[in-house]
């Protein structure tokens, strides 16, 4: 048995995985793009003289070698069948993942918004405009929905804060809950007709900004409330707390300038060319839901804005001039030539 990496192949060319001797055959084989190492059960033939005719083997105990390596000896007795006992987790180091909003895929090539480092059983939390969330693996071949308003690394101890419009009661509701780990798509807002998600964030401390319509031609001042005070932690299936204000025009979730900064890893890279979407509250005055709606309405205008940001971030060229030559173009004596740097 052996573990090996296939770094490249040539089309229509056959590669030998064994020594090529007569009678060689493959009894068990899996392809694991993230270096997963499963546990298998070996069943020997009943006619063998071995005392133990069934035992487990863990691929995690094997080192990853070359494709042409012979591998390790499992047993000298004939094998009846091989069964997968446990699915393995990744044995590779944590992989840094980005989300590209243009093609709706994740990548490890620093394109788009940085999500985090993933290894083993780590999951990606995806929230869509229709008020649903789901968990996804970090397989680079996975494709994501077009109506994503939040995508982040899943943490079973980190709560989400959501504001939605309840279609039957005609009120805004706010709820703070911890998403459950499930393989299914879960709706976390009311299912009544007309209900829709207004804003969602994974910031643990933020402000709920309430904007009001005009009353008798006069502008009403905005109301700002702390999210942890207005929305205590509740169950995922809870309806939430109503925002009992009249003539509410809009509700947003914005960062709290007085809140302590959340802990982030020191090696978090800066995405190339900005975030590229509306998932980052720090880079945009609008919530992710508003970004999603504005992107559908004015896609051309957003593309022009992206070009402007990119050109503004282009560094000025650096020129080196040699200042150690005299008027005749010869170097001065008495020391090494000096270089001046002009930006």
Tell the residue number behind the tokens 């980052």, with chain if given: 280
- The answer to whether residue 311 scores a pLDDT higher than 50 is no
- What is residue 90's DSSP assignment? E
Question: How far is the C-alpha of 126 from the C-alpha of 139, rounded, in Å?
Answer: 14
Locate 318 and state its tokens.
């650096």
In the chain, what's the furthest Cα-to-Cα distance?
A: 97
30-67 b/e with 16+ CB inside 10 Å = b?
eeeebbbbbebebebeeeeeeeebeeebebeebeeeee
Q: What are the strands of the beta sheet with 206-212, ordered from one edge?
A: 223-226, 206-212, 248-255
**333 contacts: CB under 8 Å, gap ≥ 6:** none
**Residue (of 320, 314, 317, 318) closest to 337 by Cα position:** 320
Report the C-alpha gap between 289 and 252 in whole angstroms: 10
Q: Regarding predicted confidence, which is higher, 338 or 70? A: 70
Task: Give the SS3 label for residue 308.
Answer: helix
The SS3 of residue 301 is helix
pLDDT for position 290? 62
Q: What is the pLDDT of residue 277?
A: 40
Read off the tokens for 114. Answer: 């940085």
Angstrom distance (rounded) from CA 71 to CA 18: 9
| Segment 312-333, tens digit of pLDDT | 444 444 443 444 344 444 444 4
152 band by pLDDT with thresholds 50, 70 and 90 = very high
Residue spans of alpha helices (H) in the chain = 227-230, 288-297, 299-312
Distance CA 89, CA 121 (A): 7
pLDDT, residue 43, reads 93
Residue 225 has phi, psi (to 5 degrees) of -125, 150
* Three-state DSSP state, 145: coil
Judge whether residue 292 has pLDDT over 80: no
Residues 6 or more apart whose Cβ sits within 8 Å of residue 327: none
- Are the C-beta atoms of 176 and 160 separated by less than 8 Å? yes
pLDDT at 173: 93
The string of pLDDT tens digits covering residues 224-241 is 988 888 888 998 889 999
Query: Which has more confidence, 152 or 269?
Result: 152
According to the model, what pLDDT value does residue 287 have?
A: 56
CA 181 from centre of chain: 16
Is residue 126's pLDDT more than 90? yes
Run of H or E including 64: strand 64-65
Instruction: Go through 130-139 and write b for each residue having 16 or more CB atoms within 10 A of its CB, e for each that does not.
Output: ebbbbbbebe
Where residue 305 falls among pLDDT bands split at 50, 70, 90?
A: very low
Closest CA to 111 of 129, 97, 95: 97
Q: How far apart are CA 44 and CA 51, in angstroms?
A: 10
What pLDDT, in 10s, does the model give residues 179-211? 999 888 999 999 999 999 999 999 988 999 998
pTM comes to: 0.58
pLDDT in tens, 93-108: 788 999 998 899 999 8
- In the structure encoding, which two tokens stand for residue 264, read together? 């982030």
Whether pLDDT at 306 is above 50: no
Residue 334 pLDDT exceeds 60:
no
pLDDT of residue 343 exceeding 50: no
Model confidence pLDDT, tens digit, residues 18-73: 877 888 888 888 887 667 788 999 999 999 899 899 999 988 888 888 878 888 88
Question: Are 244 and 156 within 8 A, CB to CB?
Answer: no
């Amino acid at each position: 048995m052996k573990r090996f990496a296939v770094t490249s192949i040539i089309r229509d060319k056959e590669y030998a995985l064994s020594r090529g001797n007569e009678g060689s055959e493959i009894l068990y084989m899996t392809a694991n793009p993230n270096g997963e190492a499963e546990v298998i059960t070996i069943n020997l033939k009943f006619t063998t003289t071995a005392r133990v005719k069934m035992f487990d083997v863990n691929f995690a105990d094997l080192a990853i070698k070359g494709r042409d390596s012979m591998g390790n000896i499992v047993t000298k007795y004939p094998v009846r069948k091989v069964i997968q006992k446990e699915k393995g987790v990744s044995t590779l180091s944590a992989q840094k993942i980005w989300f590209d909003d243009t093609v709706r895929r994740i990548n490890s090539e620093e394109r788009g918004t940085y999500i985090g480092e993933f290894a083993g059983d780590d999951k990606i939390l995806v929230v869509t405009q229709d008020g649903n969330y789901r968990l996804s693996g970090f397989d680079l071949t996975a494709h994501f929905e077009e109506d994503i308003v939040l995508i982040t690394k899943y943490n079973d101890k980190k709560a989400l804060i959501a504001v939605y419009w309840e279609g039957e009661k005609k009120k805004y509701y706010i709820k703070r809950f911890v998403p459950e780990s499930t393989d299914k798509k879960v709706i976390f807002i009311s299912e009544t007709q007309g209900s829709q998600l207004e804003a969602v964030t994974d910031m643990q401390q933020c402000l709920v900004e309430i904007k009001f319509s005009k009353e008798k031609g006069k502008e009403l001042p905005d109301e700002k409330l702390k999210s942890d005070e207005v929305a205590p932690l509740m169950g995922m299936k809870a309806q939430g707390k109503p925002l009992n204000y009249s003539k509410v025009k809009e509700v947003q979730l914005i960062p709290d300038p007085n809140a302590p900064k959340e802990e982030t890893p020191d090696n978090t890279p800066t995405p190339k060319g900005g975030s590229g979407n509306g998932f980052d509250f720090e880079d945009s005055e609008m919530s992710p839901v508003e970004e999603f709606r504005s992107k559908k309405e004015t896609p051309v205008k957003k593309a022009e804005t992206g070009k402007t940001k990119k050109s503004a971030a282009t560094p000025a060229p650096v020129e080196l001039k040699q200042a150690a030559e005299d008027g005749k173009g010869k170097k001065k004596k008495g020391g090494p030539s000096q270089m001046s740097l002009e930006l």
